[in-house]
Amino acid sequence: MSTPAASLEGASLSFGRRVLWQDLDLQINPGEFFAVLGPNGSGKTSLMRVLLGLQPLTSGIARVNGRPVARGSRDIGYIPQQKSFANHTPLRARDLVGLGLDGHRWGVRLGRRGFRRRVDELLEQVGASSYADAPVGRLSGGEQQRLRAAQALASDPKVLLCDEPLLSLDLHHQQAISSLINRQCHVNGSAVVFVTHEINPIIEYVDRVLYLAGGQFRVGTPEEVMTTEVLSSMYDSHVEVIHNEGRIVVVGLPDATHHYGDEQDEEA
């Protein structure tokens, strides 16, 4: 049996008396597309930080590729939320992607020919060749996110961690980025952990879902977890889940998470 790409054993995380989740056992396998859903403040981003080794667990153990997490790892590719670069950042699109290849190495870069070829391939792969030499500060959010994807895929990571990578992108770029991530997952065999508040843009790719809410969690396929019964019991109030033409609409989330409900309605 192969080692899970990422795993949590008896993991709990609390801040003071606020318990985000408790006794969470998880195994995420190579080639699995794993979505983490839940309202704001439910600990989605904290879970990501745990896997990145930036947030210690209250109890339990987290592993990436069989090893306990450390502060960052070469086995991890990371696509953060879209955040614009300053206008005069001295990097072109190709330089940003290049950092994903060898940005962790010491010294200055030697042997540039093979490096350049690899960067060109990655840019081609994400459809960014036409702005390869443009300064990153001049690119739109969607274009920058494509580069983020290329950067994260550069090392062919064991685990690809995506923290709301589609936020603030238009529909067209959402589809482009999520299909790239899917290819890395199901073709190249990376495990994908995809934190999002909106499952629909990735619904056709998701293998399993972790839903976090109210200090509880549920793990399973989208069909098992995203149901009226499960979500109503997690939120402790009636929540209606409607499956329609392959999309999932959640209606009637409690006030505490009103923001989340708004966004769901808007995008549905």
Partner 1 sequence: MDFNELWSAVFNFQDYAQLLPLVRNSLIAGAVLGLVGGMVGVFVMMRDLAFAVHGVAELSFAGAAFALLIGANVVFGSLAGSIIAAVIIGLLGTRARDRNSIIGVVMPFGLGLGILFLSLYQGRSANKFGLLTGQIVSVDTVQLNLLTGCSVFVIVALLAIWRPLTFASADPEVAEARGVPVAKLGIAFMFLLGLAVALSIQVVGALLVLALVITPAAAALRVAASPRLVVLLSVVFAMASVVGGILLALGGRIPISPYVTTISFLIYVVCRVIGGRRDRRGADRRTGHRLPATVAATGPAAVSAAPVQARTLPRVPKG
Which of 7, 46, 73, 145: binder of partner 1 (CB under 8 A)? 73
Residue 1 as a binder of partner 1 (CB under 8 A): the answer is: no
Instruction: Pick the stretch among 145-153, 189-197, 200-208, 235-243 that binds partner 1 (CB under 8 A).
Output: 145-153
Based on CB atoms, which residue is closest to partner 1, 75 or 263?
Answer: 75
Residue 130 as a binder of partner 1 (CB under 8 A): the answer is: yes
Residue 98's CB is within 10 A of a number of other CB atoms, namely 22
How many binding residues for partner 1 (CB under 8 A)? 48
Window 23 to 52, contacts with partner 1 (CB under 8 A): 52
3-state secondary structure of 216: strand
Which of 21, 33, 131, 235: binder of partner 1 (CB under 8 A)? 131
How far is 12 from 22, CA to CA, in rounded Å? 4
Instruction: Pick the stretch among 9-17, 35-43, 90-98, 208-216 that binds partner 1 (CB under 8 A).
Output: 90-98
How far is 60 from 26, CA to CA, in rounded Å? 11
3-state secondary structure of 83: coil
CA angle 167/185/267 to nearest 5° reads 25
Nearest to 207, CA basis, from 227, 182, 232: 182
Q: Phi-psi category of 96—alpha, beta or left, where left has phi over 0 and alpha has psi -120 to 50?
A: alpha
Chain contacts with partner 1 (rule: CB under 8 A)? 52, 54, 70-74, 76, 78, 80, 85, 88-92, 95-96, 99-100, 102-109, 124, 127, 129-131, 133-135, 137-138, 140, 142-143, 148, 151-152, 155, 161, 172, 176
